[in-house]
Amino acid sequence: MCMSRHYDVDAVRREFPAVERMVYLDSGFQTPLARPVKAAIELFLREGIETAGPKSVWLDRVERTRAKVARLLGVTADEIAFTKNTSESMNIAANALPLQAGDNVLMIHGDHPNNAYAFLNLQRKGVEIRFIPMTDVVDAESFAPFIDERTRAISMSHVTFHAGHRFDIESIGAMCASEKLYFVVDVMQAIGVVPVDAKAIGASFIGSGSHKGLLVPQGLGLLYWDKSLAELEPAYLAAASLAEIPDDLIARPDKMAPSPAARRFELGNFNLPAVHALGASLDMIEEIGVQNIQNHCFDLGDHLIARLDELGVRLVGPRDRQHRAPHIYVIALPASDWLGHFEENGVRVSPERDGIRVSLGMFNTVTDIDRLIDVVRKRGLGRPSAAA
């Protein structure tokens, strides 16, 4: 039996058949699918095959899922838009900001490229992108020296994919409020494992995909928009983005005001199978509680760090709970040497810039961590590059 102080992890594990077939430590890459997610997609397929709809039922589920996403982020449903993935969310955000040539946006060097490129593309409009250095701790003080009178926004990840930093976005959000800067946050690696409270963060936009902590197949993203920022308008428009959708579906050039809700940023039809999947996965997450998932992953992370210390293998990125993500750990074993060994021994992990990334999900256990350590021991650390 695999104990957790926070919830019945054995019961959770039974919902993820893949994790009994391998040691799955790669949720930061993509989630294995759970049975309730499969059932929700199958329901959609059955309805499509047997009754060709009805679309109104599907759209009703879209709205119920939107409300669940809103609950997860502590906001109202009219502040949530569905997108394709994080990249689309970040591009929508970047292009909605009222930026002019000579303005600048601050980002963190080495942050996820899907966030960086969305903003770097604004260089075409003459917007300057300034990168601050990435250190284990990034907070308001890290950004402050780079702000000048033309700084308009900060965009960054909450949790980094490549070393599991968990940055102090509350302090940065508070500084953005006092300096009147827009604040755009990519929560792709945080959501579903780390509590994300959009209002406490003070974000203007929050973007994410859903194929990691949200347990859904690729192809569905989320965008939170602070609806008090009505000046943030969409760069692209479709009928459903408008405040008034013409009944006869004939476009009216004189009635193009965007919706007062976040659907102003939505384009056309939805990824309905994935939205069904998300409805089911959010029920699972809500039932366990994100705080419990976070605490469980922190406990596993403490165990991993202790076992790595015994072996003399260094952790890349922050060690203490205050600054590290609960579920993403990069260990200083060169990926080119070690990835094949993990694969051969049935352990799924990812290669990263500075080592091997071990990333946890709600279903992982101490036994998974111990199996990883056994696989490291089995090969030994004879190579000088492997140890601290």
In the complex, which residues of this chain contact ligand PLP (CB under 6 A)?
85-87, 112, 114-115, 157, 161, 186, 188-189, 209, 221
Q: Any residues with CB less than 8 A from the CB of 248 and at least 6 apart, and which?
A: none
Q: What does the alpha-carbon distance between residue 251 and residue 81 come to, in Å, rounded to a whole number?
A: 22
Cβ(122)–Cβ(256) under 8 Å? no
Q: What are phi and psi of 74, to 5 degrees?
A: 70, 35
Q: Which is nearer to ligand PLP, 65 or 157 (CB)?
A: 157
Q: What is the largest CA-CA distance in the chain?
A: 73
Closest approach, Cβ 20 to ligand PLP, in A, equals 25
Closest approach, Cβ 354 to ligand PLP, in A, equals 15
Closest approach, Cβ 50 to ligand PLP, in A, equals 32
Closest approach, Cβ 112 to ligand PLP, in A, equals 4
Q: Which is nearer to ligand PLP, 161 or 182 (CB)?
A: 161
Per DSSP, the three-state class of 105 is strand
Q: What does the alpha-carbon distance between residue 323 and residue 345 come to, in Å, rounded to a whole number?
A: 31
Closest approach, Cβ 100 to ligand PLP, in A, equals 27
Q: Which is nearer to ligand PLP, 184 or 242 (CB)?
A: 184
Q: Which is nearer to ligand PLP, 187 or 376 (CB)?
A: 187
**Residue 243: which of 258, 261, 223, 262 has the closest Cα?**
258
184: left (phi over 0), alpha (psi -120 to 50) or beta: beta
Q: Which is nearer to ligand PLP, 213 or 279 (CB)?
A: 213
Q: What does the alpha-carbon distance between residue 320 and residue 302 come to, in Å, rounded to a whole number?
A: 9
Q: Which is nearer to ligand PLP, 163 or 288 (CB)?
A: 163
Closest approach, Cβ 65 to ligand PLP, in A, equals 18
